[in-house]
A and B are shown apart, each in its own frame.
Chain A
Amino acid sequence: MPEELDPVIHAPARLRVVASLAALGRGDEVAFPKLRKLLDMTAGNLSTHLRKLEDAGYVRVTKTHEGRMPATYLALTDTGRTAFADYQAALMDLLKGAQG
């Protein structure tokens, strides 16, 4: 089964990251602390997963400044959105296969 599913997304922590970002509108970004709180992960843990998703081209990381404070915003790229849709479709297929 893992062969059919995108290994980048197919890890519970990263699946939750991608699912959360996919719930935002296209062209919307969420700040790192807000995403961290939503997922209830440690900053280091979330950073590690985000880097993997960024390396795969699924997540766009934008570093900026708000006043004097550095801020990081995360968004799903179009590639990431497509990959997530494909992943969900693959899960549905597996489910149908298991029940059929």
Chain B
Amino acid sequence: MANGPTSDTPAEPEGTAGLDPAEMLRMIQQQQEAARDATEPDGRVLFGAWGLAWLIGYLAMWSTARDTGVPAAWAGWVLAGCIVGATGLTVVHSVTRTSGTRGASARVGAMYGWTWFLAFMAFGVLLGAMGDAGASMEVQAIAANGFACVIVGLLYLAGGMLFEETRMYAIGGWMLVTAVLAAFAGMPNTYFVMAVAGGGGFLVMVAVEQVIRTRRRSPGPAERTEGGGRDA
């Protein structure tokens, strides 16, 4: 429908009069950045959502567990709400950005998304089984926090390998460190570690992504336009 020859195609000027190589290269760079923005999820959005979710959710758990040794029920709901919210935002953002594309990246991306879902389903069932088997609140808390970090860490490491994203790999490694720290922090500080090292780690990544974007946009040597380009 959209591809038939149409009469609304004016004879376009074929030349590039007035465009010098520096301008052409800048145009290429801007166009490619726009194309990536239109087809790939924004790391700042995803890291930001998860950073805030962990920071708010686990601080609620920690602050209530500090008094009584056990997190309040409402804090559990806050954490659950934060996780659900971040999950929803991740799915909506990723699907919106990648819609209208297909091929190898779309297939790998879909499998990667399902891997998260499957891993956390299994995680939930295992935690339930531990509770049924008589694990204490403390053991359950350590297992929940430690295994959550291990799953997140391993999946980010895998994502780093899949998408050849070094930053993703780095945060994956950091989440494994967080798992160890959270496990040895004990109650209630395990929640504090989750909020600060885990949530904080994601938020640091937002800043890193922002710095990289700003640097990419700042004029490089290829963009110097002195000498005038219109004297040809």
Contact = CB atoms under 8 A, between A and B. Distances in A.
Interface of A: 1-2, 7, 10-13, 15-16, 19-34, 36-38, 42-45, 47-48, 50, 61, 63, 70, 72-73, 75, 88, 91-92, 94-95, 98-99
Interface string B73-98: 00000000000000000000000000
Contacts, number: 127
5 contacts: A28-B104, A43-B6, A47-B5, A91-B21, A95-B22
A54 to B, nearest CB: 11
Interface of B: 1-10, 12, 14-16, 19-22, 24-25, 27-28, 31-36, 38-39, 99-106, 222, 224, 227, 232
B213 to A, nearest CB: 15
B6 A47 contact: yes
Given A2-B15, A11-B12, A29-B101, A19 B3 contact: no
Contacts of B105: 24-25, 27-28
Nearest to B25: A91
Contact of B100 (A16, A34, A75): A34
Going nearest first, the 10 A-B pairs with the smallest beta carbon separation are A34-B100, A44-B6, A28-B103, A23-B35, A31-B100, A20-B35, A27-B104, A19-B31, A23-B32, A43-B2
Contacts of A27: 103-105
Given A15-B24, A16-B31, A25-B103, A48 B9 contact: yes
Given A88-B25, A98-B227, A19 B32 contact: yes
A20 B25 contact: no
A19 B36 CA distance: 11
Contacts of A47: 2-6, 9
B6 A1 contact: no
A92 B220 CA distance: 13
Given A2-B15, A20-B35, A45-B9, A26 B104 contact: yes
A25 B104 CA distance: 8
Q: Among B12, B19, B28, B32, find the residue whose CB has the most chain A CB atoms closer than 10 A.
A: B28
